[in-house]
Amino acid sequence: MSEMSSGLGVPTIPAPPEEPHLPPRQWIRENLFSSLFNTVLTIVSSLVILAIVRGLLAFIFNPQRQWEATATNLRLLMTQAYPEEQYLRVWVCVAVILTLTAMSMAVWRAGSAVPLPGVGRRLLSGGVLLALMALLAPFGTRSTFIWLVIGIVVAAGGEALRRFADEERSLSTLALLAMALGGLVATLWVVPYGSHTFNLQRTPRVLAEPGTVAMSTKLPWTLMLVVAVAAYFVGTLVRDRLPTNPLRATLLVTWLLMPPILLYLVLRDPSFDMGHVFTTDIPIFAAYAVLGGALLSWLTRPSTGEAGRIVAALVLVAGFAMFATPMRMIVRLDMLLLAGFALSAPTFSGGPRARRRYTAGWLGVLGMMSWLITAINTPSTVDVPGGFFIGGISLTLMVAIFTIVISFPLGLALALARTSNMPIFRLLATWFIEFVRGVPLITILIFFSIMVPLFLPPGMHLGEVAAVVIGYSLFSSAYLAENVRGGLQSVTRGQHEAAEAVGMTTSQKTVFIVLPQALRVAIPPLVGHCIGVFKETSLLAIIGLFDVLYIARYVMSNQTEFMGSTKENILFVSLIYWIFAYQMSKASQRLEQRTGLGER
Amino acid sequence: MTDATAAEPTDNQAMEQSRDLSGARDMIACEGVSKWYGDFQALDGITATIKEQEVVVVLGPSGSGKSTWIRCINRLEVHQEGRIVVDDVELTNDLRNIEQVRSEVGMVFQLFNLFPHLKVIDNVSLAPIWVRKKPRAEAEEQAMALLERVGIPEQAHKYPGQLSGGQQQRVAIARALAMEPRIMLFDEPTSALDPEMIKEVLDVMKVLAQSGMTMMVVTHEMGFAKEVADRIIFMEEGQIVEQGTPQHFFENPTEDRTKLFLSQIL
């Protein structure tokens, strides 16, 4: 509780007295066998659960299962055919993401403290579960015995902790997590999982050797863990020395910038044509930076008033007019971006500081967009035969992240347009949403991957994945808009009136009063939507992209060595999906708790 | 419009019960204001003026159009006939006029309508920062001063949901005052409060009235009306039935409908 409140700077509220934990026997009697009906229910459902678990374990530990298929193809599942000699790039990306995650955890004070007896309780139940599993699994006597002993030892340790540990002493959940991951990584060096490599020479062949896993696996992952832990401690140092809000803002912006930078700078490594960059790209950027900056600096002056709105509208008209005349795409896109900034300038107008910040925001977004457009249109140095340069879980995550990040502002805009009192916006947004929602996602993906390149002006290239991400973002934004609209409707009329009564303009009211409240209400459906977007990336397989499910279903089970390993592969891939989806769902719960603090 | 400099009552005069405001200029002028909700006529030709520094209490049975009228004055409701002129600006569909009037007129609602996602101090300082374009430090200093004035500076860093109803309504008053309005509208400010909290809100309003603020108050608090009002307007079925000083109104009302109303509530 105190963790949470200090995070938001709210005075600490005294926590209510904790409910005493019942001893296990009493808990079982009160909750599972309190009445005849309850007893019957408990027995029946236990039998059902036992049967299911037993079936699952029998499947997993059946000696016929080809789990080597997964072990051998881990790299294929992670990145598909990313070239071996440039694999360092992938590890750099993983390291950057882990660093950011760990630093954010430190800065946002993630995790909580569990009293030692609580840890003991969890160990006890974990150990009992393990022992039970050992009995259920179709092991040989020796394995059963070993796992049974491990389970009992863990349970006994837990019970000892529960009984004798001091209630006052506690352990941070993050330390527990680090210990668990550390243990997992340590086993890579000790336990003989076997070294499985897939030889991609002319005749593909599996090289399976006894011993620990290959150095190319265990060394990077060990380093990754070290990097993450180190980043966490750096994060705590920075957190205690720098002001909180600017630090958080910096981290958030870094998170937003990271996907394009990692993808287009690190993974794809564009070979920039410097001559072209200096003669064309930089001058265009400089012109927009200087002229746009001056314009925005004038527009955000509170005294500008009506003339500013007219100028901003003219910029928008100019932006659309540019599409009628032949010129570079980037010039047109920059103009549209400038129009967007100009139109929202009056909302953020204010003193010199507010104006400087707004202009700096323009320079940042413009620079990012210019660089990104140039990078996308530059050929890559990463040489992958055929198709996209990356696949597997990386492609799945990439498409999901880009789609969510792009469709979020789009969905917000659609929701606002649909609820606005300007009939044209309302009509366009309603038509768009209703149209997109009436079309299956597969249709949209196929349309964008095949048809869109045909409609593009000559000389402009859009990668297949980029086309798909655009299509998927449009699809996702329609659904997202409806979720946000639900949130918008939950904001009471009184809130609108209060904002109007203190003289706010419609856009100020929307930005400062309505959206924050609407989004808070919409967190559960929005996160549900994000999980859906993540999982439905598996449809990418239909248009021939190598996403993780496609690899598991068709690529791996068609390898001559692993014919018929589909079931194992799919079980493994579903585990991967579940881990990511479950983390999103947990994050949503934490977000709800945090933002719910100020609610009445 | 009368000359603005004609009458500038001193604080002393403002403290007195029955003040002579006949020379003061008009802050709010309504001429034949009518409004319909579908077929139902909520306001029926309201004509009234409110002088600078005057405290007007609007009484009447529920459904008589009091709230509708007060909400027309800062255009939360749109009137369909007649004219409303607030501080020499006529309310029309022109957005600039509406924004100007709203930044001059503070409003306090029955259900407080505080912004639940913002701390108390941000509730108060948000509009000065973004509408008046004040530097943040200055706006927050002013917000603290106002919270001091309404007696709850220690709650500045809590969220509205952590406050009692009376405290919330005082924050709402501070929020309205932060825009430095020339007129304050109160739409049944104590109707949603528990009895023991009504007094703390009324006390703040009394001090505000004594400081010379032009106020228009819709309320059912007869004590407040007797003590603080310069004039009482009694409405029924969207019309002004009777108006006058508290003394006239409570002691010898002329209209039968007023007498009936008073007999029901006193």
Domain coordinates in residue numbering, chain A? 1-32+65-80+389-600, 82-247, 273-377
Confidence of residue A443 (pLDDT cuts 50, 70, 90): very high
Write out A180-231 in H/E/C secondary structure: HHHHHHHHHHHCCCCEEEEECCCCCEEEEECCCCCHHHHHHHHHHHHHHHHH
Query: CA B209 to CA B219: how far, in whole Å?
Result: 15
Closest to B70 in 3D by CA, of A506, B111, B61, B79 = B79
Spell out which residues of chain B touch residue A308, defining contact as CB-CB under 8 Å: none
Q: B179 in contact with A at a CB cutoff of 8 Å?
A: yes
Q: B186 in contact with A at a CB cutoff of 8 Å?
A: no
pLDDT tens-place string over residues A423-434: 898 999 999 999
Q: Roughly what angle, to the nearest 10 degrees, separates helices A464-490 and A423-437?
A: 120
A10:B176 CB<8 A = no
Report the pLDDT value the prediction gives residue A545, as an integer from 0 to 100.
Answer: 81
- Top residue of B117, B134, B154 to mutate, by most chain A CBs within 10 Å, is B117
Average model confidence (pLDDT) across chain A:
84
What does the block give as tokens for B33? 């204001």
Report the pLDDT value the prediction gives residue A385, as an integer from 0 to 100.
Answer: 62
Report the pLDDT value the prediction gives residue A557, as an integer from 0 to 100.
Answer: 77
CA-based nearest distance B157→chain A, Å? 7
A503:B179 CB<8 A = yes
Report the pLDDT value the prediction gives residue A18, as an integer from 0 to 100.
Answer: 62
Residue A16 predicted with pLDDT over 70: no
**pLDDT, mean of residues A506-523:** 91
Local structure of residue A21 (DSSP, 8 states): P
Query: Domain A1-32+65-80+389-600 classified CATH 1.10.3720.10?
Result: yes
Give every residue of chain B whose pLDDT is below 70, as ranges.
Answer: 1-19, 266
CA-based nearest distance B163→chain A, Å? 9
Q: Which long-range contacts (CB under 8 A, 24 or more apart) does A300-308 make?
A: A300/A345, A300/A346, A300/A348, A300/A349, A300/A350, A300/A354, A300/A355, A300/A358, A300/A359, A301/A349, A301/A355, A302/A349, A302/A350, A302/B133, A304/A346, A304/A349, A306/B96, A308/A342, A308/A345, A308/A346
Q: A500 in contact with B at a CB cutoff of 8 Å?
A: yes
Q: A507 in contact with B at a CB cutoff of 8 Å?
A: no
- Give the CA count within 13 Å in the CB-facing half-sphere of A400: 25
Report the pLDDT value the prediction gives residue A206, as an integer from 0 to 100.
Answer: 65
Q: Which position has the higher pLDDT, A286 or A206?
A: A286
pLDDT tens-place string over residues A261-319: 888 778 877 777 788 888 888 888 999 999 999 998 888 887 877 788 888 889 889 88
Let me know if A290 is exposed, middle or buried by CB neighbors in 10 A (0-12, 13-18, 19+): exposed
Listed range (A115-119, A521-525, B22-26) with the worst mean pLDDT: B22-26
Spell out which residues of chain B touch residue A349, defining contact as CB-CB under 8 Å: 133
Amino acid making up residue A238? V
- Top residue of A502, A512, A517, A597 to mutate, by most chain B CBs within 10 Å, is A502
Q: Residue with structure tokens 């020395």? A: A241
Report the pLDDT value the prediction gives residue A468, as an integer from 0 to 100.
Answer: 87
Closest to A468 in 3D by CA, of A531, A541, A377, A370 = A541
Residue A19 predicted with pLDDT over 50: yes
DSSP secondary structure letters along B197-210: HHHHHHHHHHHHHH
Q: A457 in contact with B at a CB cutoff of 8 Å?
A: no
Phi, psi angles (nearest 5°) of residue A164 = -105, -15
This prediction has a pTM of 0.81
Spell out which residues of chain A touch residue B172, defining contact as CB-CB under 8 Å: 498
Cα–chain-centroid distance for residue A456? 30
- List of residues 6+ apart from A504 with CB closer than 8 A: A512, A513, B127, B130, B131
Spell out which residues of chain A touch residue B159, defining contact as CB-CB under 8 Å: 10, 597-600
What does the block give as tokens for A571? 């079980």
Q: A246 in contact with B at a CB cutoff of 8 Å?
A: no
How big is the CA angle at A12 (ends A10 and A15), to the nearest 5 degrees? Answer: 135
Q: Which helix (H) or strand (E) holds A486?
A: helix A464-490
- Please name the member of B99, B105, B158 whose beta carbon is closest to the beta carbon of A505: B99
Residues in a beta bridge with B57: B217, B232
Strands B55-59 and B81-86, how do they pair?
unpaired
Q: B189 in contact with A at a CB cutoff of 8 Å?
A: no
Residue A116 predicted with pLDDT over 90: no
- Top residue of B78, B115, B187 to mutate, by most chain A CBs within 10 Å, is B115
**Which residue does chain B place closest to A352, by CA atoms?**
B135
Spell out which residues of chain B touch residue A503, defining contact as CB-CB under 8 Å: 99, 102-103, 127, 131, 179
- Cβ atoms of A146 and A163 within 8 Å: the answer is no
Report the pLDDT value the prediction gives residue B8, as an integer from 0 to 100.
Answer: 43
Q: B174 in contact with A at a CB cutoff of 8 Å?
A: no
- The ipTM, to two decimals, is 0.89
Question: Measured over all CA atoms, what is the biggest interatomic distance in chain A, rounded to whole angstroms?
Answer: 86
Q: A596 in contact with B at a CB cutoff of 8 Å?
A: no
CA-based nearest distance A350→chain B, Å? 5
A498:B114 CB<8 A = yes
Closest to B60 in 3D by CA, of B220, B247, B226, B264 = B220
DSSP secondary structure letters along A487-514: HHHHS-HHHHHHHHHTT--HHHIIIIII
A504:B76 CB<8 A = no
**pLDDT, mean of residues A367-379:** 81
Closest to B161 in 3D by CA, of A508, A517, A509, A499 = A517
Query: CA A145 to CA A157: how far, in whole Å?
Result: 18
Q: B133 in contact with A at a CB cutoff of 8 Å?
A: yes
pLDDT tens-place string over residues A309-363: 888 889 889 888 888 888 787 888 888 899 988 888 888 887 788 888 889 999 9
Query: CA B61 to CA A343: how far, in whole Å?
Result: 47
> How many Cβ atoms from other residues are within 10 Å of residue A444's Cβ?
19
Closest to B107 in 3D by CA, of B179, B54, B156 = B179
- Please name the member of B102, B106, B116 whose beta carbon is closest to the beta carbon of A600: B116
**Which residue does chain A place closest to B178, by CA atoms?**
A502
Query: CA A572 to CA A68: how far, in whole Å?
Result: 12
pLDDT tens-place string over residues A374-387: 887 777 777 666 56
Closest to A72 in 3D by CA, of A177, A214, A187, A176 = A214
Spell out which residues of chain A touch residue B107, defining contact as CB-CB under 8 Å: 498, 501
Report the pLDDT value the prediction gives residue A20, as an integer from 0 to 100.
Answer: 64
Spell out which residues of chain B touch residue A346, defining contact as CB-CB under 8 Å: none
Report the pLDDT value the prediction gives residue B3, as an integer from 0 to 100.
Answer: 44
Residue A201 predicted with pLDDT over 80: no
Q: Which helix (H) or strand (E) holds B114?
A: none
- Cβ atoms of A147 and A206 within 8 Å: the answer is no
B133:A351 CB<8 A = yes
Closest to A292 in 3D by CA, of A332, A342, A329, A331 = A342
Spell out which residues of chain A touch residue B118, defining contact as CB-CB under 8 Å: 598
Question: Measured over all CA atoms, what is the biggest interatomic distance in chain B, rounded to whole angstroms?
Answer: 56
Query: CA A538 to CA A555: how far, in whole Å?
Result: 14
Query: CA A503 to CA B175: how far, in whole Å?
Result: 12
Residue A71 predicted with pLDDT over 70: yes
Residue A408 predicted with pLDDT over 90: yes
Share of chain A above pLDDT 90, in %: 29
Q: Which position has the higher pLDDT, A463 or B160?
A: B160
Residue A7 predicted with pLDDT over 70: no
Q: B129 in contact with A at a CB cutoff of 8 Å?
A: yes
Q: Roughly what angle, to the nearest 10 degrees, separates helices B195-210 and B165-177?
A: 20
Residue A568 predicted with pLDDT over 70: yes
